[in-house]
Amino acid sequence: MSKPKLAILSGAGISAESGIPTFRDANGLWEGHDVMEVASPQGWQSNPELVLEFYNQRRKAALSAVPNKGHEILAELEQWYDVTVITQNVDNLHEKAGSSKVLHLHGELFKSRSTVDDSLVYQISGWELNLGDHCEKGSQLRPNIVWFGEEVPMMDDAIRICRAAEIFIVVGTSLVVYPAAGLLDTIRPEVPKYIIDPNMPSISPMPNLFLINKVGSIGLTEVKERLTRPIK
């Protein structure tokens, strides 16, 4: 028998307990950086060195980060469910925890991409990507991150996964960045939707919505309990 389809939408909050700061909380990553300077095509055009350095620092921090209980629970749920994690995070903590199906909506910190051919994507070993690092066609490499104002290439896949979901969990996202935030509206009404966040984003009322005002590790422990309880 095939396992029920469980889709997860995760954001920066799930990695907070691994020591990676979120974007919009106090001391968030954007602090001290104008978003458009470090995460937009215009920023890249005007100061590529600053952009590379910004992501080098993120990569350095992510290299030593380890998955927390929240990431681990999502991986464990594969024993019972056909789990797909749609993450807005660019770290690789879901993979490190053992999740087998992870879709990175906003790109991946440990990959670089050619600036002349989007299909040329490379693994970054270590933490540095510098000016002068070139793709095989001789052009500068950029971080493989979806910046503000850029298309989200994985969005169609994400919508397809969400429409097919039989259970949906949202964890650690402020749901302010679109199109990712709109995925919640693609979930079918009869599907149970669990939202886990210690600082609950405002969400329009919808059927079968369960708001869990807790950090990822604790909220997910509770949801796992519910989802794996034997049926009497």
Applying CB under 6 A, which residues contact ligand OAD? 11-14, 16-17, 22-25, 28, 39, 88, 106, 146, 171-174, 176-177, 197-199, 201, 215-216
Nearer to ligand OAD, 11 or 43 (CB): 11
The residue sitting closest to ligand OAD, measured at its beta carbon, is 13
Quote the Cα angle for 98-100-106, to 5°.
100
Least spacing, CB of residue 70 vs ligand OAD, in Å? 7
Angstrom distances, CA of residue 18 to CA of 14, 62, 93, 223: 8, 9, 9, 20
Least spacing, CB of residue 171 vs ligand OAD, in Å? 6
SS3 letters across 47-98? CHHHHHHHHHHHHHHHHHCCCCHHHHHHHHHHHCCEEEEEECCCCCHHHHHC
Candidates 33, 94, 106, 134; catalytic one: 106
Q: Which two tokens stand for residue 150?
A: 């850029």
Q: Please say if 106 is a catalytic residue.
A: yes
Nearer to ligand OAD, 36 or 164 (CB): 36
Nearer to ligand OAD, 1 or 28 (CB): 28
Alpha carbon 44 to its chain centroid, in Å, reads 22
**Catalytic annotation, residues:** 106
